[in-house]
Structure 1
Amino acid sequence: MNILVIKQTSLGDVLHVSGHIRSIKKHHPRSKLFLLTANTSADIYRHSPWVDELILVDRDGIKENWRKKPMWAMAEMMRTMSQVRAHQFDLAIDFQGLAKSVFFLYGAKAENKFVKGNWWGLKGFRNKNLHAIKEMDQLLQVAGIPTTDTSMELAVGADDKWAIDQLLLKINPERKPMLIVSPFSRWPSKDWPLENYMQVGEAVSNTYQAVFTGTPDRKMHIDQAIADGGRQMIINGAVNLAGALSLLEFAELVARASLMLTGDSFPMHVAAAKQTPVIALFGPTDENKVGPLGARDRIMRAPGCDVCDKRHCPRHCLSRLHSDEVIRAINLHAP
């Protein structure tokens, strides 16, 4: 049988569904499973043993050109649709439940269709009060697929492991326990002040090898913050790898770490997928819906925050979370 799974955005959301894809494939081991996702998310499933074929949509290109070049954007949508309609599916499940994803579910030639949400003519499930993973569990059950274990996973290749082997020889020759620090997310309101991260890095630098990560555009900010952050951090060799790693190399680095410190971000989900303990700092978003579920994970909430779910918030509640509290939490994880 052929199975279509749809999950386009964002990186964290696409990673969330990895355990459900595994559950589907284990329930139908002889099936061919197609995953429709954004081209920016493709690496998450590049080495997955459960995905047989990727169908990629240029999500960013369509979003950027929807108003500027609507004919191009529509042509790109239809190009992806033609790939979907080239196959006859026995089962199609849209774990996104948004118009941009349901468009492909409606267009798919499939005997049985299921969707997260309430859409005309489609069987589905929706409960916004559940954690995102638990909500998708319920959708799978509606589709008749058991959900014994839907924990996330992220497979990497041999080249990624080799690259991190070589990197660690350079940045951590003493083999100290590693603390991965990922200070930035896509929402400014979810970011704890960078100087606070630096205070934490300096305070624990005798115990941990602090490794800062981020996108290429954040490298300069982190370099400057390390230089300003304290003599002890420089002496103990805090490392800035912002922009230096591929997605899968980053995942392998996280797998080798003892602990991660970050906000509500894709790195937080990577830590959960690689079963690396994470201290996750939450402000405007609800940890009960998207937070890590591991027994060794620790969620720290901004004091007095009313969970506004705003990308930009003038209150910036996370700035009220004191560095000393986070340092104490890290020390509790100390090896």
Structure 2
Amino acid sequence: MVDAGPVKILVIKQTSLGDVLHATAILRSIRKAYPTAQLAFLTSTTAADILRYNPRIDELLLFDRYRVKRDWWRHPAWVLRHILETMQVVRREQYDLVVDLQGSWKTVIFLWAARARRRLVKGRWWFAEQFRQPQLHAIQEMEGVLGLAGIAPASRSLEIFVSDSERGAITTRLDELGLAGRKLALFSPMTRWQTKNWPLENFVSLAGKLPDDWFVVLTGSEAQRASLNALTECLSSGRAACLAGQLTLLEFSELVGRADLVVTGDSFPMHLAAAQDRPLVALFGPTDESRVGPLGIGTVVRADVECRRCYRRARCDRRCIEKITVDQVLAAVNRATT
């Protein structure tokens, strides 16, 4: 279907990091259907690196979504100017098809503003063709949006690309850690939701139960660095290191790609491990693995308790994630690595 459809296509997906990574599967489907199309992608500045080297995209457009969220009341003039400037960038082209895979107000303003012959949206917005089935997996729901344009799913595999710079940086890091002949276990214990965090002391216990030929690297954000450094100090000397806050997004992606094991919660590292087909143990609490979990890869672990998938960020009365035992996770690790 080379010349039978849209010539210029804009895809909109701003957050979160894992959801933007999910959208790379959708890009594969669009490219298969329209290999010669001019394909642009509008995302947030924080997610830009996920798509920076993606060969399926011709143009990457950026919107500083989180600064808008943070500064709308402190710097309203800047926020309004930034929104209008981004709209102008979007309106430079006459698109044949614009696809909003998010459907929030911070994305539909650009869907609405775009000069487009056809608009598709995930959600219920009156000015566009709509698809909304939140009970589906996130990737399947995005595929449903594409289906409105007759675009069939090509693959559900996720993609992220790095440069030689990131490869070289991680090679240097691993050499400095002295990992020669040892297996790399990557632990990313902390997520953005307190209710999705397995207790840190459990990660310490898990690391202590791994065979001696494993080396544990702890990763996270700069804000999480102090807590993760303290965790590292609880482990045997020469068996662990903390790289929290020390890696760019793409360096972190390269590190995940070299891991022999990834243990994490429902988070961006989980999706990165799935994208790179690494042995994965994903710990789930208040979120629904059938909607946001890895598709066809990895081992999902949740506590043997009645869980409502409450999606509460700050407090879960049942504290489901805390009831996952170290032995459960260790058994999952053994299955994932053998």
TM, length-normalised to structure 2:
0.94
Q: Which amino acid aligns with 2:248?
A: S
Cα offset, 1:307, TM superposition:
1.3
Per-residue CA deviation, residues 316-335 of structure 1 (Å, 9 max, x unaligned), is 32111111111121122335
Alignment correspondent of 2:88: 82
1:210 aligned residue (203, 216, 233)? 216
Q: After TM superposition, list the pairs within 5 Å mapping 1:256-275 onto structure 2.
A: 256-275=258-277
Q: Which moved more, 1:42-51 or 1:24-33?
A: 24-33
Render the CA deviation track for 1:114-143: whole Å, top value 9, x for unaligned. 111121131121101100001111211211
Q: Say if 2:10 and 2:99, in contact at 8 Å, map to a contact too.
A: yes
Residue in structure 2 matched with residue 318 of structure 1 by the alignment: 321
8 A contact 2:280–2:336 mirrored in 1: no
> Which deviations, in whole Å up to 9, do the C-alpha atoms of 1:219-259 show, x marking residues without a partner?
211111222x3xxx323421111111111111111111111
Give the corresponding residue for 1:73.
79
Q: Does 1:299 align with 2:305?
A: no
Equivalent residue letter for 1:271: A
In the alignment, what sits opposite 1:61? 67
Aligned mates of 2:103, 2:240 — CA distance in 1: 42
Root-mean-square deviation over aligned CA pairs: 1.4
Contact kept, 8 Å, 2:189 with 2:264, in 1: the verdict is yes
Partner residue, 1:2: 8
- Aligned AA for 1:301? R
One of 30, 43, 62 as aligned partner of 2:36: 30
Contact map agreement 1:172 1:209 (CA 8 A) in 2: no
- Asked whether 1:114 is paired with 2:115, we answer no
Instruction: Tell me, in whole angstroms, the C-alpha distance in 2 between the residues paired with 1:111 and 1:287.
Output: 36
Matches of residues 38-187 of structure 1 in structure 2 within 5 Å? 38-187=44-193
Report deviation, 1:75: 1.6
Give how far 1:33 is off: 1.0
Alignment of 1:176-255 (within 5 A): 176-227=182-233, 229=234, 233-255=235-257
Give the ranges of 4+ consecutive aligned residues of structure 1 lying more than 6 Å apart after TM superposition.
Answer: none
**Rounded Cα–Cα distance in structure 1 between residues aligned with 2:100 and 2:78:** 25
- Counterparts of 1:115 and 1:245 in 2: how far apart (Å)? 34
Out of 123-132 and 26-35, give the one that drifted further.
26-35
SS at match of 2:56: coil
CA contact (8 A) 1:4 1:34 kept: yes
One-letter code of the match for 2:55?
P
Tell me if structure 1 keeps the 8 A contact 2:112–2:127: no
Matched to 1:75, the amino acid is R
Where do 5+ consecutive residues of structure 2 fail to align? 1-6
Are the aligned partners of 2:158 and 2:275 in contact in 1 as well (CA < 8 Å)?
yes
* 3-state SS of 1:234 partner: coil
What residue in structure 1 maps to residue 3 of structure 2?
none
Residue of structure 1 in register with 2:335 after alignment: 332
1:288 corresponds in structure 2 to 290
Q: 1:141 to 1:211 in 2, by over 3 A?
A: same
Question: What one-letter code is carried by the residue in structure 1 that aligns with 2:329?
Answer: V
Distance in 2 (CA, whole Å) between partners of 1:235 and 1:10 is: 36
Q: What is the DSSP-based 3-state SS (H/G/I as helix, E as strand, rest coil) of the residue aligned with 1:235?
A: coil
Which residues of structure 1 form unaligned runs of 5+?
A: none
- Structure 1 range deviating more: 282-291 or 167-176: 167-176
Are 1:260 and 1:271, in contact at CA under 8 Å, matched by a contact in 2?
yes
Question: Following TM superposition, by how much is the alpha carbon of 1:179 offset from its aligned partner in structure 2, in angstroms?
Answer: 1.2
* Distance across 1 between alignment mates of 2:337 and 2:151: 40
- One-letter amino acid of the structure 2 residue matched with residue 299 of structure 1: V
Separation in 1 of the partners of 2:36 and 2:334?
A: 47
